[in-house]
A and B are shown apart, each in its own frame.
Chain A
C-alpha cells in the first residue's frame, strides 16, 4: 500500500513542497506588510550554500551540526533581507529592480556560487542529512505512516509555522497592524503604527524563512552542492503566495501540489514511463503561469485582493 503510486507521489510532494512552504510563508508575511521581495531565490541559495558548508566543516555531533547549519542559514537570510529592507523601505528604491539585483547578487551565478567555490563544496556528498523520525513507531502505518509520522524536523516545523502565522495574522492585534500596513500605510501611520518597523521586521523574518528553505535542499533533499540547486523554486514560492491569496493555509496546500508536480518526472520515469524529461521539468512553471492567470483574472480577484500597497514605498508627508 505504501509503495502505491499515489502514496509515493504524496510523500515526494511533501519532500519537495516543504521548502516552498517555508520560503512562501516568509514571502507571504513580507507581502502582507507591502514589501515584495523578488530575491527569495537568492536568499534560498545563500542559505543552502552556507548551511551545507557549515555542516561539512563542523566537527561535532551530527544533530548539532545540522541544527547550527539551519540557524546559520536563517541568519544569512536575515542579513540579506536586512540589506534589501534598507534599500526598499528606508531608501524607497523600486522593489522589482532591487529584488532582481538581489537575485543577480546572491543567485546561481553570484555570491552563492562564489561561496561554494571558496569552500570547495562541489562534488563530495554531505556528511550529515536530516533524518526522518519514526513518530510513535507509526511510520509503517498505511498511507499516514510515511506521510505524517516519518518526516524530518523541518517538515514538522513548517506545519507549526503555518498554524502560527495564521493565528498571528487573524487573531492578534500585531497581525492586524501588519495587514493595515500592507493595505493602507498612510492610515496605519496616522494611527500610530510604525510602518517602517513592521516592514523591516517582516521582510527580515521572510529572509530567515527563505534561508532555512534553502538549507532544506542541501540538508534534507540531497546533501551535496551543485550551483543553482534550487532551480527557480524561489520564484515558484513567490507565485504560490499570489495563488494562495496571501493566506497561510492555502499556501500549504498549494506548496504540496507543486511539490507533487515537481516530483512527477522522477517518479514516473522510475516507473518506466518514457516521455521527454523536459516535459516534466516544465510542468511546475507551466502550472505556475496557469495558476497565476486564473487567480488574477477570474473570480478570485474580487474576493481576495493583493495587499493594496504591495510593492509601493511609503513616504510620510511630513516635516
Chain B
C-alpha cells in the first residue's frame, strides 16, 4: 500500500508532502521513512496511538523540528523550514494541543501577533478588530475580537487559534487532537467549520486516535505505528473497516482493563463526602460552586468534564491544597479542616495530581526522596530529627519492585520516562494504604503499556477497598473504569450517572452545562 491512496499524477493537488522523513530522539525513532501527502479540499486524518509519531511528523511539516533524513515538499518543491515562521510563509499552520495564545492579550492582538504584513507599522487596533470579526463570521465562529484570552473557554481559544491561521491566509491547517479538549457538541461545531474550510479548497490535516471521529469527518486517512506508515485509505471510495484501521493503528486487538461491575458495593457509608463545597481561583473568580459528591469504599467515581471547568480546584480542595470558601468535606465520617494538606494525608487521603513533575513529584530529587515525600515524618524512617538513609532505600526498593518501576532508587525523577514517573507517584500514594484516593488525568501522555498498567493499579486499589475519585478528560477512560460518573461544568456538578449504559451524548450535554432533565434521563 502506498502512502497516498489518491492519485499522485497532479503535483498541484498536494499542499504539503513528506518524503521518507526520519527523525530520531535519544532512544527512540519517532519517524522512520514516513511518506505523507495532504491535498487541496480534503480533510486528511493522521491516525495513530500516543507515541506513534504523528505529532513529530506534523512538527516537522511546520518547521518546529528538522528531519534527520527525507524531505518536506510544498506544492511539489522541496523546502527547508528553519522555524514555524517559514512554514507560515508557505501557508502551513498547526493548531497544537497547547495553544500559542498570550493569555493577557485580546483576541485581535493575538491574531496579528508575529504577522509580517503589519510588522513595524502602527498597530491599528480598530481595523484589525473589524477584520477578525469578519473572518470569524465567514467560518461561523462566534468570537469577540476584543475579548481577553484568559476569559475564554478552551473551545473558544481553539477557535481563536484557527482564526489566527485563516487570517494569515493558511492553505494547510494541521490540528493536533483538537477534540480532546472539547465536548462532543463543541466537536460537532468544529467539524462543521473544518468541512467548510475544505469546501473552500483549503487542506485540513486532522490528527487523532479516535476512529469514530475519523470516519465521521475525514476524506482520507494515513495510519502511523511505531513511527512508520502502517496503512492508508480513501474513505470516500473504499469501504472502510474500522476494525482494520484499529489493527493498523495498534497492531493487535485492543484489550484494555475494564471494570467488571458485578461486585456489589452495598450500602456502605461513603468514605469521602463533599457537601455544598465552594472555592475560588487565586484571582477571585468562582472555581467550584456548591459541589456535593460522595464516594463509597471500593467505588470508582469518575469526574468527567472539559478541562478547566473546576477539576483542579475540586482535587485541590479535597487534598487540602486549596481553601474552600463554603461547605464541608468529610473523610470516613469525620470533617476535614480546610486548606490543610497534612491533615488530609494523615487521615488516609492519597492524591495523584494532574501535574506530576512539579507537584506530585520533585523532579530534581531522587526516586528514593520522592518515595518518602510525605512519609519522611514517620517515626520508623529515622530517629529524632534525623532520617535513616538505609530505611528510606529499603522502602524505595520495595516499592519499585512491587510496582514494576524501571529505574533505581538513586536516579533523579526527571530522568524517568513519563510512565515510570507516574508509577512512582502511584506507588507512593497507594502504599500508604489510603481510604480515599483522588487521581487526576492518571494516564494522560503515557504510552499504551504504561496506560494499561496504571489502569490495573487503580482497579486493584479499588478492589482492595479504596474509594477512588478519578478526574479525567478522557470520557472513554471514565466509561471503562468508573462505577458512577459525575459531570462537572463551570465548577458545578451537572449530574451523576451510573456508568453502565451511560450514553456519551448525554454526558456531552452535561459537560456543556445542561441538566439531567435536558438529557431526558432521571438521576440514579
Instruction: Tell whether A and B belong to one assembly.
Output: yes
Q: Which residues of B contact A191 (CB under 8 A)?
A: 84, 100, 113-115, 164
Q: Which residues of B contact A172 (CB under 8 A)?
A: 120-123
Stretch at the interface among A100-108, A182-190, A250-258: A182-190
Stretch at the interface among A3-11, A88-96, A173-181, A285-293: A173-181
Stretch at the interface among B104-112, B407-415, B486-494, B495-503: B104-112
Q: Of residues 139 to 178 in B, which have CB atoms within 8 Å of A's CB atoms?
A: 164
Q: Which residues of A contact B7 (CB under 8 A)?
A: none
Q: Is A192 in contact with B121, judged by CB distance below 8 angstroms?
A: no
* Contact code string B76-112 (vs A, CB < 8 Å = 1, else 0): 0000000111001000000010011111110001001
Known A-B contacts A173-B112, A318-B64, A319-B65; A192 and B105 likewise in contact (beta carbons under 8 Å): no
Decide if A131 is an interface residue (CB 8 Å cutoff): no
Q: How far is the CB of B26 from chain A (nearest CB, A)?
A: 11
CB-nearest residue of chain A to B65: A319
Q: Is B121 in contact with A190, judged by CB distance below 8 angstroms?
A: no
* Contact code string A107-141 (vs B, CB < 8 Å = 1, else 0): 00000000000000000000000000000000000
Q: Is A186 in contact with B100, judged by CB distance below 8 angstroms?
A: yes
Q: Is B85 in contact with A192, judged by CB distance below 8 angstroms?
A: yes
Q: Which residues of B contact A189 (CB under 8 A)?
A: 84
Q: Is A184 in contact with B65, judged by CB distance below 8 angstroms?
A: no
A265–B121 CA distance with the chains assembled, in angstroms = 47
Q: Is B102 in contact with A188, judged by CB distance below 8 angstroms?
A: yes
Q: Of residues 336 to 389 in B, which have CB atoms within 8 Å of A's CB atoms?
A: none
CB-nearest residue of chain B to A186: B100
Q: Which residues of B contact A176 (CB under 8 A)?
A: 105, 109, 112-113, 123
Q: Which residues of B contact A308 (CB under 8 A)?
A: 104
Known A-B contacts A188-B113, A192-B85; A173 and B102 likewise in contact (beta carbons under 8 Å): no
Q: Is A184 in contact with B114, judged by CB distance below 8 angstroms?
A: no
Decide if A193 is an interface residue (CB 8 Å cutoff): yes
A302–B23 CA distance with the chains assembled, in angstroms = 45
Q: Is B84 in contact with A190, judged by CB distance below 8 angstroms?
A: yes
Q: Is B100 in contact with A190, judged by CB distance below 8 angstroms?
A: yes
**Interface size grouping (class) on chain B:** 20 to 34
Q: Which residues of A contact B119 (CB under 8 A)?
A: 173-174
Q: Is B113 in contact with A193, judged by CB distance below 8 angstroms?
A: yes
Decide if B322 is an interface residue (CB 8 Å cutoff): no
A186–B103 CA distance with the chains assembled, in angstroms = 12
A187–B122 CA distance with the chains assembled, in angstroms = 22
Known A-B contacts A193-B113, A302-B284, A318-B65; A180 and B120 likewise in contact (beta carbons under 8 Å): no
Q: Is B114 in contact with A188, judged by CB distance below 8 angstroms?
A: yes
Q: Is B102 in contact with A187, judged by CB distance below 8 angstroms?
A: yes
Q: Which residues of A contact B83 (CB under 8 A)?
A: 192
Decide if B252 is an interface residue (CB 8 Å cutoff): no
Q: Is B64 in contact with A173, judged by CB distance below 8 angstroms?
A: no
Known A-B contacts A190-B84, A191-B100; A179 and B105 likewise in contact (beta carbons under 8 Å): yes
Decide if B239 is an interface residue (CB 8 Å cutoff): no
Decide if A305 is an interface residue (CB 8 Å cutoff): yes
A319–B62 CA distance with the chains assembled, in angstroms = 13
| Chain A-chain B contacts (Cβ-Cβ < 8 Å), number | 73
Known A-B contacts A192-B83, A192-B84; A183 and B114 likewise in contact (beta carbons under 8 Å): no
Decide if B66 is an interface residue (CB 8 Å cutoff): yes
Decide if A171 is an interface residue (CB 8 Å cutoff): yes
Q: Which residues of B contact A318 (CB under 8 A)?
A: 64-65
Of B23, B103, B114, which contacts A192 at CB under 8 A? B114
Q: Which residues of A contact B85 (CB under 8 A)?
A: 192
Q: Of residues 186 to 238 in A, which have CB atoms within 8 Å of B's CB atoms?
A: 186-193
Q: Which residues of B contact A187 (CB under 8 A)?
A: 99-102, 113
Q: Which residues of A contact B100 (CB under 8 A)?
A: 186-187, 190-191
Known A-B contacts A177-B113, A184-B102, A305-B104; A190 and B65 likewise in contact (beta carbons under 8 Å): no
Q: How far is the CB of A302 from chain B (nearest CB, A)?
A: 6
A190–B101 CA distance with the chains assembled, in angstroms = 9
Q: Is B113 in contact with A180, judged by CB distance below 8 angstroms?
A: yes
Decide if B130 is an interface residue (CB 8 Å cutoff): no
Q: How far is the CB of B343 from chain A (nearest CB, A)?
A: 28
Decide if B283 is an interface residue (CB 8 Å cutoff): yes
A192–B113 CA distance with the chains assembled, in angstroms = 9
A122–B84 CA distance with the chains assembled, in angstroms = 55
A294–B72 CA distance with the chains assembled, in angstroms = 55
Q: How far is the CB of B486 from chain A (nearest CB, A)?
A: 32
Q: Is B102 in contact with A177, judged by CB distance below 8 angstroms?
A: no
Q: Is A174 in contact with B120, judged by CB distance below 8 angstroms?
A: yes
A177–B114 CA distance with the chains assembled, in angstroms = 7
A282–B463 CA distance with the chains assembled, in angstroms = 67
Q: How far is the CB of B47 from chain A (nearest CB, A)?
A: 24
Task: List 28 A-B pairs, Cβ < 8 Å.
Answer: A171-B123, A172-B120, A172-B121, A173-B121, A173-B123, A174-B120, A177-B114, A179-B105, A180-B102, A180-B105, A180-B113, A183-B102, A183-B103, A183-B105, A187-B99, A187-B102, A188-B114, A189-B84, A190-B100, A191-B84, A191-B113, A191-B114, A191-B115, A192-B116, A302-B284, A318-B64, A318-B65, A319-B23
Query: What are the nearest 8 A-B pairs in CB distance?
Result: A192-B85, A191-B114, A190-B100, A187-B100, A192-B114, A184-B102, A191-B113, A193-B114
Q: Which chain B residues have a beta carbon within 8 Å of chain A's beta carbons?
A: 23, 64-66, 83-85, 88, 96, 99-105, 109, 112-116, 118-123, 164, 283-284
Beyond contacts A175-B123, A177-B113: 5 other A-B pairs, Cβ-Cβ < 8 A, are: A174-B119, A180-B113, A190-B96, A191-B164, A319-B65
